Amino acid sequence: MKSSLTYFATIVAISVLLFTIVPTNACEQSCRTGISLAFGDNYSKEVKVLFVEFKKRLQDNLSNGFTGSVSSSARSSCNKVIEEETDKFEDTFTGNFAKLIEDSIFNQSPQFKGQCQHPLRVNQPPAGVAWTMDDCQNQDYICGNPPAVCHFMDQYVKPRNVKNVNESLKDRLSPNGSFFSTLSRAIIISAAKSNIKANDLPSFATVAEKNILDTFSGFVDYFAQEFCKGTTCDKYDHDIKVKLLSYP
Ligand X SMILES: *[C@@H]1O[C@H](CO)[C@@H](O)[C@H](O)[C@H]1NC(C)=O
Residues that bind ligand X (CB under 6 A): 38, 41-42, 56-57, 60-61, 162-163, 166-167, 170, 174, 176, 214-215, 218, 224, 235-236, 239
**Residues 115/143, Cβ–Cβ less than 8 Å:** yes
Identify which of residues 3 and 109 has a Cβ nearer to ligand X in the complex.
109
- The smaller minimum CB distance to ligand X, of residues 131 and 236, is found at 236
Contact (Cβ atoms closer than 8 angstroms) between residue 139 and residue 116: yes
Phi, psi of 120 (to 5 degrees): -80, 120
Burial class (CB in 10 A: 0-12, 13-18, 19+), 163: middle
Residue among 193 and 210 whose Cβ is closer to ligand X: 210
CB of 15 to ligand X, least distance (A): 39
| Minimal distance, residue 62 CB to ligand X, in Å | 9
| Phi, psi for 52 (deg, rounded to 5) | -60, -45
Cis peptide before 248 (omega within 30 of 0): no
CB-nearer residue toward ligand X: 88 or 163: 163
| CA 109 to chain centroid | 17
| Residue with Cβ nearer ligand X (15 or 182) | 182
Nearest Cα residue to 92 out of 188, 169, 184: 169
128 backbone φψ class: left, alpha, beta (φ>0; ψ -120 to 50): left
CB of 59 to ligand X, least distance (A): 8
CA–CA separation, 131 vs 19, rounded Å?
21
Q: Residue 45 CB, nearest distance to ligand X (Å)? A: 6
CB of 166 to ligand X, least distance (A): 3
**Which residue's CB is nearer to ligand X, number 153 or number 224?**
224
95 or 218: whose CB is closer to ligand X? 218
CB of 164 to ligand X, least distance (A): 8
Distance CA(61)–CA(211), nearest Å, equals 6
Q: How many residues does the chain have?
A: 248
Smallest gap, in angstroms, from Cβ of residue 235 to ligand X? Answer: 5
Cα–Cα distances in angstroms (integers) from residue 175 to residues 83, 96, 100, 169, 185, in the given order: 20, 20, 22, 12, 13
